[in-house]
Chains A and B, each alone.
Chain A
Amino acid sequence: MSNAANAAARGRAFTGLAFATPAILFMAVFVAYPVWEAIRLSFVAVDAFTGAEKFVGFRNYQELANAPKLWPVLINTGIWTFWSLIGQFGLGLVAALAINRDIPGMGAIRSILLLPYVVPVIALALFWRWMLDGSFGIVAVSFQDMGLLAPDQSPLALPSGAMWSVILANIWRGFPFVMISYWAALQAIPPEQYEAAQVDGATTMQQFRFVTLPNLWNVTKVLLVLRFIWTVTFFDIIWLITKGGPAGSTEHWPIWIYQETMGFFRFGYGSALAVSLGVMILVVIAIYGLVIRATSGARP
């Protein structure tokens, strides 16, 4: 009897494995193997024409550590990531609080606010550049009229103007995701918490401070990690709006990787850049995790 049951369990385990096999094979070949390959390639030099590989040890890493553009690119990456996240989380929170009321017309507004999630980045890049066009762009010309820009000048032609333009485009695209996540968290707050606070005589402002905000903390912790990874590594917006220019002023780490590999066909060096980016992200997240753990005990 137990033999038969064992055989049935083995049969089901085998069936489960059979169902999952195509997915497991796919993940092994196109996800696990590339991870290994990225690390391996970062220690070789690949000949652009023959594809021949030569082991060079840590030379790729030495080169990137001494690259003149290392610090400018790191600073650009930091500015891009920090202000994108500030904007996305700030607007996302404000938007979530605003749409969390069932008043007429709010359904339509919510639908509009979700649009950036599906608008192709290429379309975003196109209308951003069109609005910022120095001669005919409606935003650029308005700025020129206000005296903020010289006549016929586009913000994209100025180093700082270009950086703020791509950051604003990224906020446009990213804040609705934060908004929806916060909105879901707002809806999950048990009403009893507000009732208890009211019984204790809390003002509405105190309820916001001591009930609403703490209830958003858990989703914020996770969301910050996800948005951080996806913002640091987000390539499309900058590439399609400025290509890293003018004069490298918007070149962040992913653009650097792309240029070394697809521009100069330096696959070994590009892999070293990619692996370094991955390691830096892991280090930041590890520090973040430690800080969260150390401070979580101190919260009321």
Chain B
Amino acid sequence: MSTPAISPTASNPLWNRFGSYAVAVALAAFIALPLAWMVISSIKPADQLFSSPPRILADHWTINWYVTVFRDSGAAVFFWNSLVVGLSSTIFCLVIGTLAAYAITRFDFPGKSAFLIAALVTYMFPAIVLFVPIYMILNTLSLIDTRIGLVICHTILTFPFAVWMLKSFFETLPREIDEAAWVDGCSYLGTFIRIVLPLSLPGIFSVAIFVFVLSWNEFLFASIVMTSSDLKTVPVGISEFITSFDIRWGEIMALGTLATVPVVVLFSLVQRYFLRGVLSGAVKG
């Protein structure tokens, strides 16, 4: 992220430094308080979680809900499934994505611009419009209720922005590096694997985290592809906890916290690449 080029006071006469603090803190509270409330609720004992009127803080805390969730419910398997699907989607998306992005930045081939435009259109294309035919294609291929089926869906969702982000990373590598390797007799594939990939690892790593986070959070396709309970991912598995007659809020807040923490930690590792991605228009919201 480049440093601000302008005097910040010039862009915003509406309020001064303290006004900026006040507005920013108020908005941060709007974001953080519900999250904090989820975490606090997940470590409150039952008598204080279900007190009327609600109490902000408890006089003692407990990790009981977390224990219950893993001991008495099938929740652990949801996390395992999300991990497997997330990692598989990441690897699959990155393999075909890096190859395509490399082809786009280093070679001229017929249909290149059509491919780039198709990726851009797909990036804007809403999943809900295409989920019926995709469901039926997966059904024909017998991929419903398989991890491969969901990996394909998550690659459809993440592939377009992965290609655009990888393209912007590969463009920052000088072509002379590749050309020197070719002159030295290195094959195209060898150059790609041994020279280009290692040099763009930070960029590839950040794209990998975006793909993983999106896969981890994705609900629509996960809910239609995975039907048997031992294959369900975190969002689908948890969503079924709250349709039961008694809503067990303690367990649910523990599950919500557990679903959120991994992606927040991962995201904080690559936040500055995220900002760069927004600048290049390659991030989907």
CB pair A19–B103 under 8 Å, yes or no, is yes
CB pair A191–B20 under 8 Å, yes or no, is no
B198 within 8 A of A: no
CA distance A114 to B264 in the complex (A): 10
* CB nearest to A137 among chain B residues: B54
Q: How far is the CB of B45 from chain A (nearest CB, A)?
A: 14
Binary A-proximity of B269-285 (CB < 8 A = 1, otherwise 0): 00100110011010111
CA distance A105 to B8 in the complex (A): 16
CA distance A256 to B159 in the complex (A): 27
| One of B64-72, B200-208, B248-256 contacting the partner | B248-256
CB pair B35–A102 under 8 Å, yes or no, is no
CA distance A82 to B132 in the complex (A): 26
Question: Majority SS of interface residues in chain B?
Answer: helix
B136 within 8 A of A: yes
Given the contacts A23-B100, A95-B23, A187-B4, A131 and B12 also touching, CB distance less than 8 Å = no
A148 within 8 A of B: no
CA distance A267 to B140 in the complex (A): 14
CB pair B7–A191 under 8 Å, yes or no, is yes
CB pair B118–A136 under 8 Å, yes or no, is no
Binary A-proximity of B32-58 (CB < 8 A = 1, otherwise 0): 101101100100000001111110100
CB pair B249–A118 under 8 Å, yes or no, is no
Contacts of B56 in A (CB 8 A): 138
CA distance A203 to B10 in the complex (A): 10
CA distance A204 to B219 in the complex (A): 47
CA distance A37 to B139 in the complex (A): 13
- Identify the A interface with B (CB < 8 A): 9, 12-20, 22-24, 26-27, 29-35, 37-38, 41, 51, 91, 94-95, 97-103, 105-106, 109, 111-131, 133, 135-138, 141, 145, 172, 174, 176-177, 180-181, 184, 186-191, 194, 203-205, 207-208, 211-212, 222, 225-227, 229-230, 232-233, 235-236, 239-240, 254, 257-258, 261-262, 267, 270-271, 274-275, 277-278, 281
Question: Majority SS of interface residues in chain A?
Answer: helix
CB pair A133–B249 under 8 Å, yes or no, is yes
Q: How far is the CB of B268 from chain A (nearest CB, A)?
A: 7
Residue picked from B12, B127, B129, B224, most chain A C-beta under 10 Å = B129
CB pair B49–A136 under 8 Å, yes or no, is yes
CB pair B239–A141 under 8 Å, yes or no, is no
Given the contacts A15-B107, A109-B24, A122 and B132 also touching, CB distance less than 8 Å = no
Closest 3 CB pairs of A and B: A16-B107, A204-B13, A233-B126
CA distance A149 to B30 in the complex (A): 22
B242 within 8 A of A: yes
- 8 pairs, CB–CB < 8 Å, chain A vs chain B: A16-B107, A30-B152, A122-B235, A125-B239, A184-B275, A235-B220, A277-B129, A281-B126
Given the contacts A126-B38, A184-B279, A113 and B107 also touching, CB distance less than 8 Å = no
Binary A-proximity of B193-233 (CB < 8 A = 1, otherwise 0): 00000000000000000000100110110011000000000
CB contacts between A and B, total, < 8 Å: 332
Contacts of B10 in A (CB 8 A): 191, 194, 204, 207, 211-212
B245 within 8 A of A: no
Select one of A16, A51, A114 contacting B108, CB under 8 A: A16
B183 within 8 A of A: no
CB pair A115–B256 under 8 Å, yes or no, is no
B177 within 8 A of A: no
CB pair B12–A109 under 8 Å, yes or no, is no
Residue picked from B27, B97, B260, B263, most chain A C-beta under 10 Å = B27
Contacts of B126 in A (CB 8 A): 229-230, 232-233, 278, 281
Given the contacts A120-B263, A127-B253, A19 and B99 also touching, CB distance less than 8 Å = yes
Contacts of A203 in B (CB 8 A): 13
Given the contacts A111-B268, A122-B219, A212-B12, A95 and B27 also touching, CB distance less than 8 Å = yes
Interface residue ranges of B137-171 to A (CB < 8 Å)? 137, 139, 152, 155-156, 159, 163
Contacts of A267 in B (CB 8 A): 132, 135-136
CB pair A103–B13 under 8 Å, yes or no, is no
